[in-house]
Structure 1
Amino acid sequence: MANSPEMRASDSDRDRVAAILREHTAQGRITMDEFNERLEQLYQSKTYGELAKLTSDLPDVDLRNRPAKTAKAIESKDGMHSGMKAAWGAWAMASGINWVIWLIVSISSDGGVYPWPLWVMGPWGVILLVSTIFGSNQPKRN
C-alpha cells in the first residue's frame, strides 16, 4: 500500500529524513541555519506530507550508495594519515611543555637538574617512530 500524504509518519521515517537533510547539508545544498530550521520542523511533523515538504526543493539522495572515504582522502600530502599526525603533534606538545618546566626548574634552582623530560620523550617517541616506519599507513576500520 502506498503511503498517502495524510498517513502518520513514524520515528524511523523522521530519522530517515534527518539523515537526508544531514547529507544535503554536508554537500552544501542547505546552510546550517536552514538545516536547524528544517530539523525543528521535522520533529514536529506528523504526516508523510509534512515530511515530504521538508525535502521537496532538494534532489533525491541515495544514502546506501554514498561515496566512501578512501584512505587517500584521509592521508595528507606527506602520506601520513591524520591519526598519526595527531599522535606526533601530541608528543611534540607534551615534550615541549616538559622541557619548559625543566628549564624553569633548572633556572630557579642552584645546581643542575637531571634532564627528566628525556624519560617522557624517549619511550613515547620510539613507539611513534616504529609505528610510523613499520606500521600500516592506513587508519583502522571497524
Structure 2
Amino acid sequence: MRAGDGDRQQVADQLKAALDEGRLDLSEYDERVQRAYGAKTYGDLDGLLDDLPGTVPVTKSQVMPAAAPEPPTAHGSVHKKAKHQGKSGGVQGMAFVFVICVFVWLMGGAGYFWPGWVLIPLAFAVMAHFKDRGNRGH
C-alpha cells in the first residue's frame, strides 16, 4: 500500500523526537529522514522506528470504512418532515427578500419595477413547493 505525505511526516516527526532525546545521532537521523521522505510504500517506512522506544510504527492503512447510514425512524417521517420544512422555509425566505426589494424600490422613487425579477425564482420555488405536496406522506 502506498504511503502518503502525512505518513512520511509522522515518521519524520518521531525521528526528530528521537534525535532531540539523544537516541539518534545527527548522521543516523539524517539517513532515516531521507529514507522516510523518499518512501513510496508503507514497506519503505518499516524499520525506521523499530529500534526506538515509545514509537508506534505507521499503521498499514489510513483508509477508514464509510459510516453506516442512519436507520430510518418511523418510516423516515422525521427526516421527510425536516426536509419539507426546509423547502417551505426557503419559499418564505424568498418571499421576504421580494418584500424587501419592493420596499427598496418604493424608497427609490418607484420607476421601473426591477423587483419583478425576484419574482421569477420565487415563482419556481412556489411551484416546486406545491408540486411536492402530494409526495410528503402526511
- Is the pair's TM-score, using the shorter chain for normalization, greater than 0.5? no
> Taking structure 1 as the reference length, what is the TM-score of the superposition?
0.39
